[in-house]
Structure 1
Amino acid sequence: MTNAVGTPRSLAQITFALVGFLFLLELTSGILQGYYIPLISDLVGHLDITDADFNWFEAAQLLLSALAVPILAKLGDMFGHKRMLLVSTALTAAASWWLVIAGDFTTFLIAWALQGFYSVWLPLEVALIFDRGRRSKTGVSQTRRAAGLLVIALEVGAIAGALGGGALFAGVFAGSVPLTLAVPAAVVTLVFFAILFGVPESERTAGRSLDVVGFVLLSFALLLTTSSLTFLRINGPGTWWVWVVMAAGLLAFLPFGRWVLGKDDPAIDLRALASPTMWPVQVTAGLFGISVLGAQIPLSTFAGTDPEIAGYGLGLSSGMRSIVIGIYLLSLIAGAALFAIFSRRLSPRIALIVATALVTVGYFALIPFHDDLAQVLTCICIAGAGSGALVAALPAAAAAAAPLGQTGIATGLTNTTKTVGGAFASATFGIALATGVTAGVGTAASLSGYYTVWIVCGASALIATVLLFFVPKLAFADPVDVE
């Protein structure tokens, strides 16, 4: 039975039908993020490049994500979020197949960067779910629960991808890189049809226009800013022109701000972004990106450092390090699953504060407690639980705070600010660990470098915790909760 606009009256039916297919898409996103990790050394050999060259692949994909997500999210608000999901999935599939045949550094770099279109999936998915639930008084809470399920799918996919990539390469495909890379390409291709036939389109707002100039100015500013952070990591803080590029990037936001403030339908509505329910969410996303995107590689290198040589570290083998990362991912799943429960009992705002506080405690606790595996696992699982909740909570909170017709761009901005935070962390942590290399212990950084990583991660989460106290007490709640 449907209402006047043809929408099923049962929100549970909508959620089950919609989230079921989006669950598959987010599972695929996780596979893409985990599948290639155990193959990095083999890809380096396949392309005849160095380990350091592989850093350019990560930098290029992060850059494309920062530039593409706001535009595709805005186009989703204008032309339909499902349509943009299909476009981004098709581009991701094409790039994944291109990786199969790419045999040199340049073509592989381009294909790897273009594969980053998957980064817009979660913001568009949350916007779709929120749009379908907007007509119900429980739409906000339904979006939170669905976002938690999607993050669970993401992390399960990441674990499956990490385990499957190495196993398929070494076992089924007998060391064939093209055959191994064809698997994720096939998965993305199949999920395209699942979205095409299984996901309903969102309601579009008439009379919208694309602010091309605004997006060009925003892209230029983001390009300079994120590029400068990448160059800072690669060239070091002593390179003067890196700081010039960074200053130019920050200054480039000024003409962007002046332009969009004069538009009726801007690329990004800065006035809506400045609302007390929105700006703390977006700032939190940026601060959260520092730890969730920047701390995993330092964790892996710390776990692999031999304590008998360096005087610190866990001395774990690559297999044991994979298990540690797997346990961390499981803690993210637990955090995502528990977020909806605690947000319903405590209020969404308090649940967000608790999540950022867990990240704070987890990373600060590593400073005194890092002497053995049990201590490190306890700390990263505390931080992981908070991180899993935030991955689910931030786009859902942005959707709840967004004005009508701006859900996609609001959720997309949480991804963009998170990416910028990750780029900052990558540059800062790279410098901290590189400048602290201890003489006589090979490439191992000094313990002070790791202290810097943990302090920055903990401090950024602490700042986010404080900022969330400025959010109105009844923010992100269903209308029935505030009546």
Structure 2
Amino acid sequence: MSETLTAPIRVKAGTVVGFLVFVELTSGFIQGYYLPLIAAIAGHLQVSDADITWFVTLQSLAAGVSVPILAKLGDIFGHRRMLRIAIACVFAGAVLIAFSPGFTLTLVGRVIQGPLAVWLPLEIALIHSRIKGETARKGVGFLISALTIGALIGGILGGVLGTAISSLTVVLLVPAVVLALCLVIVFTLIPESTTRTSPKIDGVGFTLLALFMLALLFGLRMAQASGFGSALVILLLIVSLVLLIGFIVWELRVKVPAIDLRLIASRALWPIFVTSFVFGMVLFGTQSLITTFLAADPDAAGYGFGFNPGVISLFTAGTALLGAVGAFAFPYLAKPLGIKTVILMGVSFAIIANIVLAAGYAVLPLVVTAFCVNGLGIGLLLGALPALIAELAPSDQTGIATGVYNSLRTLGGAVAGAIFGVILTAFTAPGAAVAGVGGYVTVWIVCVALFVVAFLVLLVQRTPVEDATKEVVA
């Protein structure tokens, strides 16, 4: 049962959204900043290329566990309160990483940074606690655009500073400085949400969910390295399935569940969550694949363009900027067309882009066109999917609903990373260093099929009549 803590007051949309945009810009900045520094961190700590992959993996595992828990606690105790805790954790992790004398403490810092992924769900919940309708959609669009641009700025600045400054400690302190400013903002300038759900905490449900996410994500991580035939991978996947079944049985029986599965399975929401999972598969599962394809030497591999990292970064930057444009534009398109139509447009753009890549991978203008179309489609989906979920969820479950969206994207990316890796391996000749072009084409065809499934399930999604005129609530 929800509870409203304050009487309705009129507030300007900018009061709620303005500073949150900086917070999400910081989130993107942190996500992008470390990536070009991973090799330097490995050299500084004297660890192997295989070991340094845990720098990314452990943060992803921690994010998978912390997002649904902190999002639900935000619904119970206040979204600003949980956002403060999440930012403080990421700040502490950044400081630890900067001053860590060894690899173990560096990994501890990355685990502490897991709550970075819950910032967006909590921010969307804060927006929806005070703003509704078209203004709320614009706010979400601003957040997603800020996230995308922040990641782009972080990636560029991380690479530049990592090259220009000899002290890696100084370079790694930059995120801590930005996060300190972010902490000041969230402690002084952002209002708290006004609606609370039942204060009862489903400890058993959260524990089962956390163990399931750990087992599944770790199992899929292992599958990328050793394939699905590994005994450890099979064991972890079986354990995760058992935990998932136990979680579902428990959640359907408990009076106040950690996640309301009946809400998730409602006709209004389940197609959106299926689309979110598919979106995560393609968005995260193809990131490294695109890079290796563009970098491949056409004379040696028979495909690719032999681009150097600088040229590839232009492709990445262009896609990111178009994604920001799509996220910014989605509320303006949703007003005359409807938000469901915008999501269908985003899925359609993704289908077209992957068809073009599968058929025209050897023609550079077609590849560039596919990247542009795909970037716009990604932006529309990045903005519209969480916005619609927040609108359809009850006001006291906005945090956990958008948290589930984030978790499904993460799971989708992990599943795709393992499956796409197996596909590329199947098309790699014995002793060859690179996969055959058939592997890439197969992956793009799979992406087309996944988005076609998403398009079809969206057709049965039932959205309540929209009212974009209700813009300001409490």
- TM-score range normalised by the length of the shorter chain: over 0.9
Q: Which residue does the alignment assign to 1:136?
A: none
Task: Please list, as runs of the form range in 1=range in 2, the aligned pairs for 1:38-117 lying within 5 A after superposition.
Answer: 38-117=36-115
Correspondence for 1:469 among 441, 447, 459: 459
CA distance in 2, matches of 1:23, 1:474: 28
| Structure-2 change in CA distance of 1:21 and 1:265 (3 Å) | same
CA distance in 2, matches of 1:253, 1:103: 39
| Structure-2 change in CA distance of 1:475 and 1:51 (3 Å) | farther
Correspondence for 2:398 among 407, 415, 422: 407
Q: Which residue does the alignment assign to 1:384?
A: 375
Aligned length: 467
Correspondence for 2:182 among 181, 191, 196: 191
C-alpha displacement of 1:407: 0.8
Correspondence for 1:157 among 141, 150, 154: 150
Task: Please list, as runs of the form range in 1=range in 2, the aligned pairs for 1:15-54 lying within 5 A after superposition.
Answer: 15-54=13-52
Task: Please list, as runs of the form range in 1=range in 2, the aligned pairs for 1:310-349 lying within 5 A after superposition.
Answer: 310-349=301-340
CA distance in 2, matches of 1:477, 1:276: 19
How does the TM-score come out when normalised to structure 2? 0.94
CA distance in 2, matches of 1:372, 1:51: 33
Contact in 2 for aligned 1:355/1:386 (Cα 8 Å): yes
C-alpha displacement of 1:8: 3.8
| Structure-2 change in CA distance of 1:456 and 1:111 (3 Å) | farther
**What SS does the corresponding residue of 2:196 show, helix, strand or coil?**
coil
Residue identity over aligned pairs, in percent, reads 37
CA distance in 1, matches of 2:107, 2:90: 14
C-alpha displacement of 1:207: 4.3
Q: Cα RMSD (Å) of the superposition?
A: 1.9
Contact in 1 for aligned 2:343/2:384 (Cα 8 Å): yes
Correspondence for 1:458 among 427, 448, 463: 448
Correspondence for 2:210 among 219, 228, 236: 219
| Structure-2 change in CA distance of 1:464 and 1:330 (3 Å) | same
Deviates more, 1:427-436 or 1:59-68: 427-436
Q: In the TM superposition, what whole-angstrom CA distance separates every residue of 1:286-338 from its partner, at most 9, and x where no partner exists?
A: 11101111111111111111101111001101111111111111111111122
Q: Which residue does the alignment assign to 1:393?
A: 384
C-alpha displacement of 1:260: 1.3
Deviates more, 1:466-475 or 1:284-293: 466-475
Deviates more, 1:80-89 or 1:149-158: 149-158
C-alpha displacement of 1:453: 2.2
C-alpha displacement of 1:176: 1.6
Deviates more, 1:469-478 or 1:457-466: 469-478
Instruction: For structure 1, list consecutive stretches of 5 or more residues without a partner in the other structure.
Output: 134-138
CA distance in 1, matches of 2:315, 2:278: 24
CA distance in 1, matches of 2:156, 2:35: 10
Contact in 2 for aligned 1:400/1:476 (Cα 8 Å): no
C-alpha displacement of 1:270: 0.9
| Structure-2 change in CA distance of 1:467 and 1:479 (3 Å) | farther
1:423 is aligned to 2:442: no
* Residue type at the aligned position of 2:137: R
Contact in 1 for aligned 2:285/2:416 (Cα 8 Å): yes
Runs of 4+ that moved beyond 3 A? 4-8, 473-481
Q: Which residue does the alignment assign to 1:121?
A: 119
* Residue type at the aligned position of 1:21: F
CA distance in 2, matches of 1:39, 1:300: 17
* Residue type at the aligned position of 1:407: T
Correspondence for 2:252 among 261, 264, 276: 261
Task: Please list, as runs of the form range in 1=range in 2, the aligned pairs for 1:351-366 lying within 5 A after superposition.
Answer: 351-366=342-357
CA distance in 2, matches of 1:460, 1:180: 40
Deviates more, 1:445-454 or 1:149-158: 445-454
Q: Which residue does the alignment assign to 2:282?
A: 291
* Residue type at the aligned position of 1:450: Y
Q: In the TM superposition, what whole-angstrom CA distance separates every residue of 1:19-66 from its partner, at most 9, and x where no partner exists?
A: 111001111011111112222221221121222323222221111111
**What SS does the corresponding residue of 1:368 show, helix, strand or coil?**
helix
**What SS does the corresponding residue of 2:358 show, helix, strand or coil?**
coil
Deviates more, 1:467-476 or 1:31-40: 467-476
* Residue type at the aligned position of 2:436: S
Contact in 1 for aligned 2:268/2:463 (Cα 8 Å): no
Contact in 2 for aligned 1:70/1:409 (Cα 8 Å): yes
| Structure-2 change in CA distance of 1:475 and 1:410 (3 Å) | farther
Task: Please list, as runs of the form range in 1=range in 2, the aligned pairs for 1:267-286 lying within 5 A after superposition.
Answer: 267-286=258-277
C-alpha displacement of 1:126: 0.5
Q: Give the number of the structure with larger relative contact order, counting CA–CA contacts within 8 Å between residues 6 or more apart.
A: 2
CA distance in 1, matches of 2:91, 2:452: 39
* Residue type at the aligned position of 2:100: A
1:146 is aligned to 2:139: yes
C-alpha displacement of 1:6: 5.2
| Structure-2 change in CA distance of 1:250 and 1:46 (3 Å) | same
CA distance in 2, matches of 1:371, 1:52: 32
CA distance in 2, matches of 1:49, 1:360: 40
**What SS does the corresponding residue of 1:252 show, helix, strand or coil?**
helix
Deviates more, 1:238-247 or 1:293-302: 238-247
Q: Which residue does the alignment assign to 2:10?
A: 9
Contact in 2 for aligned 1:155/1:332 (Cα 8 Å): yes
* Residue type at the aligned position of 2:433: T
**What SS does the corresponding residue of 1:437 show, helix, strand or coil?**
coil
1:176 is aligned to 2:167: yes
* Residue type at the aligned position of 2:10: R
C-alpha displacement of 1:240: 3.0
